[in-house]
Amino acid sequence: MNFQTFWNTMKGNSHDFVLKTLDRGLEFQISPNSNHPLIPNNDVLYVTPKSTGKERPIQKSQFMKVWEYSKSITKPYIPSNYTLITHNSSYIVSLMKHVLGEQKIE
């Protein structure tokens, strides 16, 4: 799967869903839209960790940086591989794994 297909899949999703981080198993909600209606949402996905309940906007550019880097490593679903790129790696990598399943990162 290429990045644009991944992004379109996520932004085209009409409902929120809950995942767990791959590293620590912590629940978080992912949403294509903000809980705050005045915040634009075109190039952002919104993550809300169950532990804090505070919505975190994650820019498309952060997802793309992780995606691009993941193509150059042998174990792409280890969040600690991306700590120098983003502090949201646990959420991004968990979401990538959920959407991609066994598909190749292109």
Strands, E assignment, the chain: 17-20, 27-31, 44-49, 56-59
Token pair listed for 41: 């949402």
- For residue 37, the one-letter residue type is P
Q: Is residue 88 one of the residues assigned to a domain?
A: yes
Quote the mean pLDDT of the chain: 92
Q: pLDDT tens for residues 56-90?
A: 999 999 999 999 999 999 999 999 999 999 999 99
Looking at the chain, how many residues does it have?
A: 106
Task: Output the pTM of the full model.
Answer: 0.91
For residues 68 and 103, what is the distance between their CA atoms, to the nearest angstrom? 15
Domain count for the chain: 1
Is 106 contained in some domain? no
Does 23 have pLDDT greater than 70? yes
Range of the domain at 7: 3-100
How many helices (DSSP H) and strands (DSSP E) are in the chain? 3, 4
Residue 61 lies in a domain: yes
- pLDDT surpassing 90 at residue 39: no
Cα 51 to Cα 36, 73, 87, 90, 98: the distances in Å are: 19, 30, 16, 14, 20
